[in-house]
Structure 1
Amino acid sequence: MDILGYFREEMWMNVYGYHRTSTKEQHLDRGIEEIKTYCKEHQLNLISIFTDQQTGKNFNRPRYTVLVEDVLRPGDTLIVTELDRLGRSKRDTMKQIQRFRDMGVRLMVLELPTTLMDLSKMDNSLAKLMMETINNMMLELYASMAQAELEKKEKRQREGIAMKKQRGEWDDYGRPAAIGQDEFNQAFARVASGEITPTELRNELGLSHATFYRYRKKCLENFPDILQTDR
């Protein structure tokens, strides 16, 4: 193929983008703009960019599913800005990469220069094999980094939840504290004075047994003298 034919092929092959954020509060704009800019600068025929706003822990995402199952065809190219925008589970991400290979779809990751090289154009078979090996190693490395970052984030979340529970600021996972500690302390004074029983107060506040006694413990730690009249 002559050089003009090469550029014509590169320009008119169908290119699709995919970008993902973990939550709806995060903006998709930056990733979308990066993909558009790259395609414009390299004269690539960008057809569409598919987006999802949900976790990258798995690939059960509506727009990604449509893209892979209904849109991509052999000879197409898929562009993502970073590998973790594709997914954050190493095992599942590598399975998706192999799926693209089996489909005859080229994956380009803008943060990985080795994926931006079209190895099919290389004439030297040894050089091609070396670049394919390096490319595979880089993809696996970045997939490992994405999973490690996800695991670190989840660990911090678990630790944060555990600390909130210890402080009595979290009743159950994902549920705000049922009552403020100061409000409980004032209410518990009625128990200490003998006005009502602990069970009556617990029912009045709508607290579980464990939650009620967690608040009670903290109250007595802050106001030990109340034990003199606690019944």
Structure 2
Amino acid sequence: MSRIGYARVSTIDQDLDTQIAKLKAEGCAVIRSEKASGASRDGRAELATIIDFLRPGDELVVTRLDRLGRDTRDVLNLIHECEQRGAFVTVLDPHVSTRGEMGHIVLTVLGMVAQMERRFIKERQREGIEKAKGAGVYVGGRARIDHGRVIELSRGEMGVSDIAKAVGCSRMQVYRILKGTFERPT
């Protein structure tokens, strides 16, 4: 029977230290962490590893429910997967566990609140963007990949996999950039 901690933040700029310290103080023998969005379970390899590792009697511990996800269905599916493995889920703030029926009800409500909060965040973000566009100061998100470098490397006869490694992205992103280049009129 193990207590396994999971810590998550959404962006690279955010810090995992506070969550990890709380999980250690709670007695988690193993703690896995990652920097990934909680909007879905896609791209969250550490969480998938924990779920695969869970054994009967183990306990998945998170500091807050929104660390597991911001979509009620995803959170409930995750809790169900843990239970199918005979494991429990415990949230530290507020302290709730799936060891009892009341815990299930509370976690369902908290999951719905997390999803609602995500919708509010997106709504405020959308309003802010519209306001900035109206004021003529919106420039859009910054490019995370240097498209020019991708194109330059492809002209140098470098393969897609090598380009992806060189610029730090997926092969699919390289294909999209190159496809966009060939479709544009010159």
TM-score normalised over the length of structure 1 = 0.58
Matched, 1:22 2:10: yes
Query: Does residue 87 in structure 1 map to residue 54 in structure 2?
Result: no
Question: Which of 22, 31, 53 lines up with 1:49 in the alignment?
Answer: 31
Q: AA paired with 2:79?
A: I
Determine if the alignment matches structure 1 residue 78 to structure 2 residue 60. yes
Q: C-alpha deviations, 1:124-174, integer Å up to 9, x for none?
A: xxxxxxx41x21110011101111111111111111111111111124x31
Q: One-letter code of the match for 1:160?
A: G
Q: Does 1:170 align with 2:138?
A: yes
Q: Which amino acid aligns with 2:124?
A: R
Q: Cα 1:168–1:63, aligned 2, differ >3 Å: closer, same or farther?
A: same
Identity of aligned residues (%): 35
Counterpart CA distance in 1 for 2:135 and 2:142 is 14
SS of equivalent to 2:41: coil
- Once residues 54 and 156 of structure 1 are traced to their aligned partners in structure 2, the CA distance between those partners, rounded to angstroms, is 21
Which SS does the other structure have where 2:80 is aligned? helix
Given candidates 137, 150, 153, the residue that maps to 2:121 is 153
Amino acid of the structure 2 residue aligned with 1:79: V
Q: Distance in 2 between matches of 1:164 and 1:114?
A: 41
Letter in 2 for 1:85: R
Partners of 1:165 and 1:114 lie apart in 2 by 43
- The one-character-per-residue Cα deviations of 1:51-105 (angstroms, maximum 9, x if unpaired) are 1112100012121122223x22222111111100111111111111111111111
For the residues of structure 2 that align with 1:85 and 1:94, how far apart are their CA atoms?
13
Instruction: Give the AA of the match of 2:48.
Output: T
Q: CA deviation at 1:175?
A: 4.9
How many corresponding residue pairs?
A: 142
Distance 1:86 1:37 in 2: 19
5+ residue gaps, structure 2: 144-186
Instruction: Name the CA distance, whole Å, in 2 between partners of 1:145 and 1:159.
Output: 21
In 1, the alpha carbon distance for the partners of 2:132 and 2:95 equals 43
Which residue number in structure 1 is paired with residue 78 of structure 2?
A: 96
Pair 34,175 (structure 1): closer, same or farther in 2 beyond 3 Å:
closer
Aligned to 2:48: 65
Match of residue 33 from structure 1: 21
- Stretches (4+) displaced over 6 A: none
What is the CA–CA distance in structure 2 between the aligned matches of 1:27 and 1:109, rounded to whole Å? 19
Secondary structure, counterpart of 1:24 in structure 2: coil
CA RMSD of aligned residues (A): 1.8
Higher helix proportion, which one?
1
- Paired AA for residue 115 in structure 1: S
Which residue pairs with 2:165 in the alignment? none
